[in-house]
Amino acid sequence: MLASNLEVVERRIRALSYEHAYAFAADGTLILDTTDFAPASIGFTADQLSLLRNASLTHNHPGGRSLSQNDVFLAMEADLAQIRAVTASHRFWINRPLKGWTPDYQKRVRTAITAEKGLLIRHLERDISGGRISPEAANRGFHHLLWSNLASRGVVRYAHEPWED
């Protein structure tokens, strides 16, 4: 039930021009449906955050980007089972670690993000200077590369897939 509910709402929101979020309990029950009608953010109240423990939260990214750092920090803070982002062409997700979002794990993720961001920025700047990628494409693909690199080292449980229409 959860997978089919995610599929329905993600298809509904993937091409919107503003962010919209839905959260579902493990059994597929809808527990949150919210938007600020902003193109690049959604704010959550303390009451909304309290509903999210063990939930799967999905939302769209109109700009075509993967999950942001703030998305992952929200997943940690709210103790989400899964954080998801959808675009017109793809869906992306990070699952909670098997041992949970422990303080040690959160510190490990934050440290890894800081180190990997520096390396990735230097790599992308070289590619932009060499004409191998446009600044817009580098910006759009930055977080996907970040999470992919961290996943390849076992830091996060990240995955993505294109839409099959």
Is residue 96 scored above 90 in pLDDT? Answer: yes
The whole-number pLDDT of residue 8 equals: 96
Rounded (10°) angle between helices 69-78 and 103-129: 170
Q: How far separated are the first and last CA of the chain, in Å rounded?
A: 20
pLDDT digits (tens, 9 = 90+) for 115-139: 999 999 999 999 999 999 999 999 9
pLDDT in tens, 51-92: 999 999 999 999 999 999 999 999 999 999 999 999 999 999
For residue 106, the model assigns a pLDDT of: 97
Q: What is the pTM of this model?
A: 0.94
- Quote the mean pLDDT of the chain: 96
Q: Taking the alpha carbons of 31, 58, 54, 8 in that order, is the dihedral positive or negative?
A: positive
Residue 165, pLDDT score: 78
pLDDT at site 141 = 95
Query: What are 32-51's pLDDT values in tens digits?
Result: 999 999 999 999 999 999 99
Q: What are phi and psi of 3, to 5 degrees?
A: -60, -40
In this prediction, residue 65 carries a pLDDT of 95
Write the DSSP symbol of residue 17: S
pLDDT reported for residue 118? 95
Q: Where are the beta strands (DSSP E) in 6-156?
A: 20-24, 30-35, 56-60, 82-86, 90-95
Q: How many other β-carbons are positioned within 10 Å of the β-carbon of residue 161?
A: 9
